[in-house]
Structure 1
Amino acid sequence: MTTPGKTRVAIVFGGRSTEHAISCVSAGSIISALDPDEFDVVPIGITRAGQWVLTNGDPAQLAITDRKLPEITAAAGAAVVLPADPTGRSLMVLDPADAADRGLTLRDPALAADGGLTVLDPAEAPRALAGIDVVFPVLHGAYGEDGTIQGLLEMAGIPYVGANVFASAAGMDKEFTKKLAVAEGIPTGPYAVLRSGVSLSAADKERLGLPVFVKPSRAGSSYGISKVTDWADLDAAVAAARQVDPKVLVEAAIVGREIECGVLEGEAGGGPEASLLAEIRVVDHEFYDFEAKYLDGCEYDIPADLPDHVVRQVQDYACRTFTALDCAGLARVDFFVTPELDVYLNEINTMPGFTATSMFPQMWAATGLEYPKLVNRLIRTAQRRGTGLH
């Protein structure tokens, strides 16, 4: 049941996208960081098929171990649903008795210091899940970072961490991120959009030149991305990207350094705030692909070694991109900085990777906001903002 005086937070993770595993890793880190004196945690995993299940929320089971990626299955716990009823703010267990049959456990805040878990009494399940105060949807990619779950939470009237429906959808779609950024006067590199069934024209090939990067328009974590140095390889690269998303972007390669900036919604009605910058340096990989990000590691510098005026330019562009997309809560905004110190927007992530070693938390830690305080701030910001139009 809800503990008086504590905030009940539903951590929602996993999901139907290709970024399922990374979402699980992020969720495990957040669960570990939540102060048991302030929060009751309800860990909700979403299977790749889309089923919501009440899990034990054990961070160790949500980590990458020996290069094995975590995954949520239907056997992880009792099935739950979120009714689109703004008067209740409640999650419903479909079959409470199923919890005991599956050995369902919930994190016991009183035992959090030593990682203890306590079995949830099936008779308490419907009442225990009532009154969710805020949802932290630690979901990356489709059906999570694209406005879909945000729409469900808006209908249910439950505050949630991160961008609203529009900003989530616009940030997820690289085409519309670029269009909104250009309208705001923020430079982007040359690109072409290939909708389903469309091929790159000869004119676009001449305009973009080689090499190009081929990527799904609505995906993240570098899934489906290929570097093409010969036009003979383009069709295969487009086909690989379309396994993730039928809409594909072909981007001209920008020679430069990969720079990231974290942005937080301002407190007390202030404008967005930018973190110190990070520079990503890829080791033993041709570009910043999935393995470089999550498995083999990469090198990085925080703060990035850039002239002060370039740092200010990147931070300004990051905050302006955040505002142009009408973002809320948080975002990580990625850029290229050329040898001539020109700055180009690459993309925005409205729910970036959120492990303690992910770039977004590390940039904010270097800026002076440690991981547990960052998580706390995001939850409190979501509560303060609530749902509906702002």
Structure 2
Amino acid sequence: MKTKLFVLYGGKSVEHEISLKTALTVLQSIDRDKFDVYPVYITREGVWCHRGRLVERVTDPNDLTIPADPDLANPARSLGAVAAKLFGGGGRQVALPLLHGSNGEDGTVQGLLELLDIPYVGNGVLSSAVALDKAAAKAVLSHAGIAQAAYLAFRYADWQEEGEASIREIEASIGYPCYVKPASLGSSIGINRCEDRVQLLSAVEEAFSYDRKIVVEEEIAGREIQVAVRGNDRALASVPGEFIHDQAFFDYNEKYLAGRLAMSIPAELPEATANEIREQAIRAYQALDCAGLARVDFFLDRTGRLYLNEINTLPGFTAFSMYPIMWERTDGTRYSELIEKLIDYAFTRHADKQTIRYTRGDGQ
């Protein structure tokens, strides 16, 4: 009997389009002899939509948008209909959330799937929520003794009351150039590099339009190195890779629209440095209690010192993304095989959770 695979994509997030691109590649790559695939599209308003089992081959991200049923055009009613129609059907089933950013990569959908008792690919509630919140992740990683760039975090209400003092604190402890980022967002959306106070004020205003908490970081001059990690309790790290570019910072347009980024996989590094990066990546992965997959990003400064930049619990996952290519260059794992490995991790973790007791020893 085939496994039912529910592919969740879209979402109420500024990374909606990226999710569609990821979903397209996954849907084109899934082995239909092993899986019955059920695409589940979540609109920008949070409405859940489906057409049942996927039969045809999809060729364009726009083909993945599904009109909302007028009778179910709100999140609660539409979610109830999807849960009853698809998730409640029984049999061997697993969910594959491909929701980048808010309302999907932040533990919300993971919590829903936990309540529905459906195995799902990727990180759990805690690791998803903490990793997406840059300030929270930095605090955990700092406690684990992992080196990071100097940073400060600010909440909107505090900034409104103490903005001038906050600016002076940034200038005294972080300095210029610095980076301003929304705390809980990815794909370089809302991130700006600042070389003076005028740019800083503009960047802070933009970042607060995407989140109620922001992070300001010092710039680490050097190289940006990435490594792919997969697995549950015994995680594996890929060979490191890097994007070759001549800019201090590449934003959303450079990453996803310009098509000018070139990859170097494996990155040209001394063997000792490559091994250290892989070891640090696994340490960080375990510190955040990650499972399934993550991409861990580092800065390597001109003295050879490593600084962890961030952990991405749902990295770019098209056929041309760094994460799957790093695995292919590491051990020959092809894209479709990688998806199946991640699904296997999901079933293993779900089975492990079934051994947890929810009653006391006396049965109460």
- Where on the TM-score scale, by shorter chain, does this alignment land: which range? 0.7 to 0.9
Paired residues of 2:41 and 2:64 also in contact (CA < 8 A): no
Paired residues of 1:54 and 1:78 also in contact (CA < 8 A): no
Distance in 2, Cα, partners of 1:127 & 1:344:
42
Distance in 2, Cα, partners of 1:132 & 1:48:
30
Residue matched to 2:249: 287
Amino acid in structure 1 at the alignment position of 2:26 = I
Distance in 1, Cα, partners of 2:26 & 2:117:
23
Q: State whether structure 2 residue 17 is matched by structure 1 residue 18.
A: no
Q: State whether structure 2 residue 3 is matched by structure 1 residue 7.
A: yes
Paired residues of 1:26 and 1:354 also in contact (CA < 8 A): yes
Distance in 1, Cα, partners of 2:344 & 2:70:
28
Distance in 2, Cα, partners of 1:304 & 1:127:
42
Residue matched to 2:130: 170
SS of 1:363's equivalent in the other structure is helix
Q: Deviations over 1:306-354 (max 9, x none)?
A: 1111111111111011100001100001110011110001101111111
Match of 1:263 among 184, 206, 229: 229
TM-score (norm 2): 0.87
Residue matched to 2:67: 74
Q: State whether structure 2 residue 278 is matched by structure 1 residue 311.
A: no
SS of 1:294's equivalent in the other structure is helix
Distance in 1, Cα, partners of 2:203 & 2:258:
23
Distance in 2, Cα, partners of 1:127 & 1:202:
53
Q: State whether structure 2 residue 117 is matched by structure 1 residue 160.
A: no
Paired residues of 2:182 and 2:210 also in contact (CA < 8 A): yes
Amino acid in structure 2 at the alignment position of 1:378 = L
Amino acid in structure 2 at the alignment position of 1:216 = P
Amino acid in structure 1 at the alignment position of 2:84 = M
Distance in 1, Cα, partners of 2:93 & 2:66:
26
Residue matched to 1:92: 84
Paired residues of 2:27 and 2:58 also in contact (CA < 8 A): yes
Amino acid in structure 1 at the alignment position of 2:226 = E
Match of 1:382 among 346, 350, 357: 346
Match of 2:317 among 344, 354, 367: 354
Q: State whether structure 2 residue 153 is matched by structure 1 residue 193.
A: yes
Change (3 A) 1:71 1:205: farther
Gaps of 5+ in 1: 64-69, 85-89, 94-125
Change (3 A) 1:295 1:76: farther
Give the C-alpha shift of residue 36 in structure 1: 1.0
Say which is worse superposed, 129-138 or 22-31, in terms of deviation. 129-138
Give the C-alpha shift of residue 249 in structure 1: 0.7
Say which is worse superposed, 70-79 or 220-229, in terms of deviation. 70-79
Paired residues of 2:24 and 2:64 also in contact (CA < 8 A): no
Paired residues of 2:8 and 2:39 also in contact (CA < 8 A): yes
Paired residues of 1:21 and 1:71 also in contact (CA < 8 A): no
Q: Percent identity?
A: 40
Match of 2:182 among 216, 220, 232: 216
Say which is worse superposed, 200-209 or 181-190, in terms of deviation. 200-209
Paired residues of 1:170 and 1:177 also in contact (CA < 8 A): yes
Match of 1:296 among 255, 258, 272: 258
Give the C-alpha shift of residue 92 in structure 1: 3.0
Distance in 2, Cα, partners of 1:294 & 1:77:
33
Q: Deviations over 1:370-389 (max 9, x none)?
A: 11110000011101211748
Paired residues of 1:258 and 1:281 also in contact (CA < 8 A): no
Amino acid in structure 1 at the alignment position of 2:254 = A
Give the C-alpha shift of residue 281 in structure 1: 2.0
Choose between structure 1 and 2: higher helix proportion.
Answer: 2
Q: Deviations over 1:20-60 (max 9, x none)?
A: 11011111111111111100000001000000111568532
TM-score (norm 1): 0.81
Amino acid in structure 1 at the alignment position of 2:310 = E
Residue matched to 1:141: 101
Distance in 2, Cα, partners of 1:316 & 1:77:
51
Residue matched to 1:242: 208
Amino acid in structure 1 at the alignment position of 2:235 = P
Amino acid in structure 2 at the alignment position of 1:15 = G
Give the C-alpha shift of residue 286 in structure 1: 4.6
Residue matched to 2:38: 42
Change (3 A) 1:262 1:76: farther
Paired residues of 1:54 and 1:77 also in contact (CA < 8 A): no
Give the C-alpha shift of residue 149 in structure 1: 0.3
SS of 1:386's equivalent in the other structure is helix
Distance in 2, Cα, partners of 1:356 & 1:91:
30
Paired residues of 2:47 and 2:68 also in contact (CA < 8 A): no
SS of 1:277's equivalent in the other structure is coil
Paired residues of 2:8 and 2:41 also in contact (CA < 8 A): yes
Amino acid in structure 1 at the alignment position of 2:119 = P
SS of 2:240's equivalent in the other structure is strand
